Amino acid sequence: MTNVPADRPMRSGPRSNARSTLASIGFAIIALSALGIGAYAIIGYTARPLGAGVHPEMRAAYEAHPVGILTHIFCSSLAIILGPVQFIPSIRRRWPLAHRWMGRVYLGVGVLIGGLAALYISPFAFGGIVSTVGFATLSIAWLYTGARAFASARSRDFAAHRRWMIRNFSLTLAAVTIRLGLGLGFATGLSFEIVYPVLTWLCWIPNLVLAEWIIRREGHDPRRASPTA
Ligand code: HEM
């Protein structure tokens, strides 16, 4: 995850203008890749037989647990599609009610149901115990950061809400980074059996580190002293 759009106009000057342009480009890339993975998941698992494009062992696991995997896929897809919209400041300002309702769907359906379903299917993940623990830890972190984001919004601590949502969405983006990692793995000729279990950890730990960096950077930015809802 990279920078998210600012709540207020950037300070003028060539350096801050360049930073603002870079942040907007970064955000657009993230939003498009999130949308792409959401579309892949919804279309791929509606239009094709269950597990059509995945490793035969994964397909067998999906066929044995169709409710768990399909609940996970369709609910989590909502999170990855709605997530970027929630970070657009003009939408939050102009349509606060829409922001609240999309937030409820993101957290209540996407993260809560999608995350519980992910926890349920983690023991059947490809790659044995390494993948199981990797995905289960990610599920718990996703649920925990989602719960904190919800609680801080309820108590109207919007600065904390923003921080927890940045962390939470960085984890949602694991669905993007795992596929980027798989692509990189294929390109370098490494076998799926080796790459996949490693990626069940590497698809989210760097995202979280980057999220912390963004949060710290915002903390030192006077323009972010009082973030809005
Ligand atoms: C962030 C927390 C997430 C966790 C812990 C998680 C966990 C899992 C697990 C354990 C599997 C089964 C993998 C296997 O068989 O080896 C899986 C598959 C899948 N997940 Fe997630 N997932 C998460 C987020 C998402 C999101 C946000 C999406 C949205 C598109 C998504 C879409 C899918 C899809 C489409 C599959 C089927 C495999 C494929 O077709 O590539 N997941 N997930």
Work out which ligand 1 atom sits closest to the CA atom of 51: 40
Q: Is the residue at 9 inside a domain?
A: no
- Residue 145 and residue 162 in contact, taking contact as beta carbons nearer than 8 Å: no
Q: Is the residue at 216 inside a domain?
A: yes
**Selection from 19-28, 118-127, 212-221 with the highest mean pLDDT:** 118-127
Token code pair at residue 1: 């995850």
Summarised one tens digit per residue, pLDDT across range 132-172 is 999 999 999 999 999 999 999 999 999 999 999 999 999 99
Distance CA 198, CA 178 (A): 10
Q: Is the CB of 141 under 6 A from ligand 1?
A: no
Domain hosting residue 56, numbered range: 14-224
Among 45, 5, 55, which residue's Cα sits nearest to residue 28? 5
- Residue 138 and residue 171 in contact, taking contact as beta carbons nearer than 8 Å: yes
Work out which ligand 1 atom sits closest to the CA atom of 38: 30
Q: Is the CB of 76 under 6 A from ligand 1?
A: yes
The tally of domains found in the chain comes to 1
Distance CA 110, CA 93 (A): 23
Q: Is the residue at 7 inside a domain?
A: no
Place of tokens 């359906």: 109
Q: Is the residue at 8 inside a domain?
A: no
Task: Provide, for the chain, the percentages of residues in helix, strand and coil under a 3-state DSSP scheme, each rounded to the nearest 5.
Answer: 80, 0, 20
Residue 214 has pLDDT above 60, yes or no: yes
Work out which ligand 1 atom sits closest to the CA atom of 41: 35
146 alpha carbon, distance to own chain's centre: 11
CA–centroid distance, 221 to ligand 1, in Å, is 35
Q: Is the CB of 136 under 6 A from ligand 1?
A: no
Q: Is the residue at 118 inside a domain?
A: yes
Q: Is the residue at 3 inside a domain?
A: no
Q: Is the residue at 169 inside a domain?
A: yes
Q: Is the CB of 171 under 6 A from ligand 1?
A: yes
